[in-house]
Structure 1
Amino acid sequence: MAWEKTKDLELDYMYHNLKIENAQKSGDYHELGRLLRTYRRFLESENERDKESDATAYERAIRRYLTRRKPGKEREPRKK
C-alpha cells in the first residue's frame, strides 16, 4: 500500500517535470508559468499533508505517554 502511494507520487513528479521541460524547450512561457504555479501548489499540499500526519503521530505519542499505568505506591526494598 505504501509502495503504491510512493509510486504514484514519483509518477506525478516525473509527469510535472516532463511537462515543465517541454514548455521550456518550446519557449511557451505562459504555459511554463501555469505549470510552475500548479507544481508549487501540488508540493505545498504534499508538505501540508506530511505536517498533519506528523502532528497526529506526535499527539498519539503524547496520549500514549499520558495514559501509561502509573505505579500505585513505591515498593519497599526487600529485607535479606
Structure 2
Amino acid sequence: MSSPTFTRKQQAERLDIALTASYEMEAISRHLNGNLPMEQPEYQHLRALVVRVLSLNSVVMSVLGGDDGRETEEMRNVVEGCA
C-alpha cells in the first residue's frame, strides 16, 4: 500500500491542525493540573499523569511549531522519561 502524497498546502494544513490540537491538549492539561481535587487519595497519581502529558505535549509542540532551538537529545530524554 502506498502512502498518500500531500501538496505543500495540504501538509501545512495538516501541521496546523496537529499544532492546534497540541495547544488544546496543553490548555486542558494545565486546567486539570490547577483543578485537581486535593482531598482525593488519587491526587498524586492524577497530578503525575497530567504533568507527564504536559511534558510529552511540549515535545510535540516543539517539533510541530518549528522550535529548532530545542535539543533533540533533551526531547528524547523527555519522551523516554529521563528528564
Q: Which has the bigger relative contact order, CA under 8 A and spacing at least 6?
A: 2
Work out which of the two has the higher radius of gyration on C-alpha atoms and give 1 or 2. Answer: 1
TM-score normalised by structure 1 residue count: 0.41
TM-score normalised by structure 2 residue count: 0.40
- Structure ranking higher in helix proportion: 1
